[in-house]
Chains A and B, each alone.
Chain A
């Protein structure tokens, strides 16, 4: 059992390019989340999904989009990357509203 995985591990991207960060979980969790982590700012929620077919905006959604076509996958897309999107991105999942959130290993993204 893999738990929750992310790809790629790291990526250097030219500004203006489109990029999709992948996230897959095999725990049959209902909810999934995308966070970005920047030094001194903690973990900030970008988008979330309570269940397959639904998504919602978090604290910092601008410039990002998500989809949740099935239970297992929750990709995050940067339509036109900008340097301020340089960050470490964590995907997470939870079974329900009061359960532990399990984090993926993270993707380190650098936008030049």
Chain B
């Protein structure tokens, strides 16, 4: 089955700096890669996703890049703000497969210091 590794497990940055979180996956058939943000005590919520026919996707201060050859994808947050502090999860799935399962990474705790 799919295995998703996520690094780092914790990340501390100063407000205004950039933050990068990296994930690798094992199943070359995976073609859907979402990122979820989970604030303390809240539910995970999708912030951005990318599909295998796209190399990069951007939404305001958030961008995701995908390298299918190397089987890794990354989340980039620019101009970080204290409200970006949360746990971020990457995930991978094969949306053309027989089921809709996502395999999640173990998460990255991002702390943005004012």
Q: Count of chain A residues with Cβ under 8 Å from any Cβ of B?
A: 25
Is the pair B106, A42 in contact by a Cβ cutoff of 8 Å? yes
**Is A45 at the interface (CB under 8 A from chain B)?**
yes
Interface string of B97-112 (1 = CB under 8 A from A): 1111111111100000
Neighbour of A100 across the interface among B46, B99, B106, CB < 8 A = B46
Tally of contact residues, B, Cβ under 8 A? 27
For residue B9, which residues in chain A have a CB less than 8 angstroms away from its CB? 40
> Which residues does chain B contribute within 8 Å of A59, judged by CB atoms?
1, 103
A41 to B4, CA, bound (A): 12
B43 touches A97 (CB 8 A): no
The answer on a CB contact under 8 Å between A56 and B89 is no
Would A97 and B104 be within 8 Å (CB), given that A43-B89, A90-B44, A105-B43 are in contact?
Answer: no
Task: Check A58/B89 contact, CB under 8 A, given A43-B44, A98-B95, A106-B43.
Answer: no
Tell me if B45 and A103 are in contact (CB < 8 A). Answer: yes
> Chain B: residues with CB nearer than 8 A to chain A?
1, 6, 9, 32, 34, 42-46, 49, 51, 89, 93, 95-107
Q: Which of A's residues lie within 8 Å of B, judged by CB? A: 31, 33, 35, 40-45, 48, 50, 56, 58-59, 90, 94, 96-98, 100-101, 103-106
